[in-house]
Amino acid sequence: MRRTSVQDVADELGVNRTTVYRQVGTINEVIRLLIARDLHRLLGELPASLAGTSGPRAVVELMATIVQYASDHPVMVKVLRDEPEVIGPFLASDLPEVIDRVTAAISPLLGAAMAADQIARRNPDLLAESLVRLGITLVLAPPSGELETFLAEVLVPTLKLDR
């Protein structure tokens, strides 16, 4: 990504580089737009990924889907493998917006699960934010074992209903 230029993007799109500058801006802005697009796609898929699951298991599935999506994303794989120094500036400048967007998307899902007595009642916004932050950590530093096992061990005790 560090070696990618606006000219590279323009060549790939078959347009003049001034068009890219006028329409999008710098490479950093191109990257932000790509992240926003992929985040929008992921968030649109989340409700369908929960079909057929309920209770704490649904939250584990939700988290596993998000973490796996991010971990398998071709750009993320390349950056973590070849250019890990790019992550620092992203974390400092763009991460708060990503946290806010994903939190806003999953908080209503968690609130609905709480209202339906599928998971323990907590503050859905705080729970959503903590899940997003956990997910980011798991993308950057995956667990040593199976992702779903790790998530179940961490999340199920917090989310199961006391009956």
In a domain, 134, yes or no: yes
Q: Is 47 inside any structural domain?
A: yes
The pLDDT tens digits of the residues spanning 40-96 come to 888 787 777 667 778 899 899 888 988 998 888 887 888 788 877 777 777 778 788
Does some domain include residue 8?
Answer: no
> Would 79 be classed as within a structural domain?
yes
pTM of the prediction? 0.76
Tell me the per-residue pLDDT of 4-36, one tens digit each, with 9 for 90 and over.
788 888 888 899 989 888 988 887 787 778 777
Distance CA 19, CA 30 (A): 13
End-to-end alpha carbon distance in the chain? 51
Whether 1 is in a domain gets the answer no
Domain of 54 in residue numbering reads as 32-159
Q: Give the number of domains in the chain.
A: 1
Report if residue 65 sits inside a domain: yes
58 lies in some domain: yes
Q: Which residues lie closer than 8 Å to 57 by C-beta, 6 or more apart? A: 152, 156
